[in-house]
């Protein structure tokens, strides 16, 4: 019996996931409450339309990607109970905590729940794992993100600049006002230098679980003055259908041969393309599931084969850059 991947939500990210999978020869079914979008994506990619989530059968569609605009934990719970592996693309902090709480359910069902299979979190975790191979020990991880995917991604980032930025600092969780802590950070070209600020992003939550011994973990979001001043107001203009070039930047600090060192890597590409490549890679990983993944899965966790996952993402067209500095 041939197996397929179901994609719930076919906006910018969901449609990219579908395109990536069909290009790899994976059969796809799509569902969206916007029937016109569902029909258009299904026709363009020659995918099957999924009218109702309840129509899914785990034996035929073992993997479901959730790329909806709303919180994803409730749907993930339902799908796990129905016997599916689940790939979540959520980048909301509260949603992330609720997804992590489903670990026991996923293990009971013998299924995997991938949390944060997008650009950041997602690719950010894979980059941390890759940079970790360059050092003997890590004591700091700092993630920065620039740009947006679709309209809902833009709205989420707007909210992230108005909330409380969570971070891990010397053994305890700290909350700082979003929009504070300005740092000028350099992303791969063509993005270049951007002012980045603390924001309500889930990367520290997920990376602390994967790297509990790291002393400091933070996440920042690029923003201009208008972004910061209007963060606590409704968006003044409707977001673009798809943002421009986005960027992920990861910096780790640690030691190598007894000396202090810093390693930096990143990517610059349309955010939807990065997220689509990461979610498609994890979907195909679970479709095969040769490694028997169960429970909550966080990209970058040392228990995963992060090198092969990163290679697969790169193989889907995402270029990763590493900063060499004076060593070049």
The C-alpha atoms of residue 283 and residue 263 are separated, in whole angstroms, by 29
Q: Give yes or no for a contact between 136 and 145, defined as CB atoms under 8 angstroms apart.
A: no
- Residue-wise pLDDT for 208-264, tens only, equals 999 999 999 999 999 877 666 665 656 555 555 566 799 999 999 999 999 999 999
CA angle 139, 140, 142 (to 5 degrees): 165
Q: Average the pLDDT over 304-325 and give the result.
A: 94
Domains present along the chain, CATH in parentheses: 4-118+275-315 (3.40.50.720), 123-272+319-327 (3.30.360.10)
* Alpha-carbon torsion angle 99, 103, 107, 113, nearest 10: 30
H, E, C per residue of 4-16: EEEEECCCHHHHH
Say yes or no to pLDDT of 271 above 60: yes
pLDDT band with cut points at 50, 70 and 90 for residue 175: very high
The pair of three-digit structure tokens given for residue 115, joined into one six-digit string? 């949390």
Could you report the per-residue pLDDT of 297-310, keeping only the tens digit for each? Answer: 999 999 899 999 99
Given the DSSP bridges, would you call strands 63-66 and 137-146 parallel, antiparallel or unpaired? unpaired
pLDDT value at 27 more than 60: yes
| Per-residue model confidence as pLDDT tens digits over 101-150 | 999 999 999 999 999 999 999 999 999 999 999 999 999 999 999 987 66
Choice between 231 and 26, residue whose per-residue pLDDT is larger: 26
For residue 275, what pLDDT band results from cuts at 50, 70 and 90? Answer: very high
**What is the per-residue pLDDT for 134?**
94
Name beta bridge partners: 219: 143
3-state DSSP assignment of residue 147: coil
Q: What percent of the chain has pLDDT over 70?
A: 89
DSSP state of 132: H
Percent of the chain having pLDDT more than 90? 77
Q: For residue 152, what pLDDT is reported?
A: 65
Burial 280-299 (b: 16+ CB within 10 A, else e): bbbbbbbbeeeeebbbbbbb
Tell me if 270 sits within 8 A of 276, measured CB to CB: no
**78-88 pLDDT tens trace:** 999 999 999 99
The per-residue pLDDT for 66 is 97
Q: What is the pLDDT of residue 328?
A: 45
């Amino acid at each position: 019996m041939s197996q397929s991947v179901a994609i719930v939500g076919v906006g910018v990210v969901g449609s990219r996931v579908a395109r990536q999978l069909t290009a790899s020869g994976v059969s796809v079914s799509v569902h969206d409450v916007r029937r016109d979008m569902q029909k258009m994506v299904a026709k363009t990619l020659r995918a099957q339309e999924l009218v109702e989530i309840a129509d899914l059968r785990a034996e035929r569609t073992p993997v479901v990607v959730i790329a909806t605009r709303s919180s994803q934990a409730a749907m993930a719970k339902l799908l796990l109970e129905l016997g599916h592996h689940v790939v979540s693309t959520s980048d909301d902090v509260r949603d992330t905590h609720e997804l992590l709480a489903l670990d026991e359910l996923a293990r009971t069902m013998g299924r995997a729940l991938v949390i944060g299979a997008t650009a950041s979190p997602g690719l950010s975790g894979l980059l941390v794992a890759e940079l970790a191979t360059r050092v003997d020990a890590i004591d700091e991880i700092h993630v920065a993100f620039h740009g947006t995917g679709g309209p809902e991604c833009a709205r989420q980032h707007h909210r992230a600049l108005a909330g409380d930025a969570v971070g891990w600092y010397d053994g305890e969780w700290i909350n700082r006002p979003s929009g504070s802590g300005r740092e000028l950070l350099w992303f791969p070209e063509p993005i270049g230098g951007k002012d980045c600020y603390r924001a309500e992003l889930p990367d520290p939550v997920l990376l602390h679980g994967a790297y509990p011994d790291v002393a400091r973990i933070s996440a920042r979001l690029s923003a201009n003055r208008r972004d910061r001043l209007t963060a606590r107001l409704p968006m003044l203009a409707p977001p673009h259908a798809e943002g421009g070039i986005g960027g992920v930047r990861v910096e780790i600090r640690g030691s190598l041969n007894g000396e202090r060192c810093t390693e930096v890597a990143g990517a610059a590409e349309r955010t939807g393309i990065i997220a689509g490549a990461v979610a498609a890679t994890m979907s195909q990983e679970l479709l095969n599931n040769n490694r028997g993944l169960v429970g909550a899965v966080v990209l970058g966790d040392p228990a995963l084969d992060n090198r092969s996952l990163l290679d697969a993402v790169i193989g889907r067209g995402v270029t990763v850059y590493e900063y060499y500095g004076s060593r070049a």
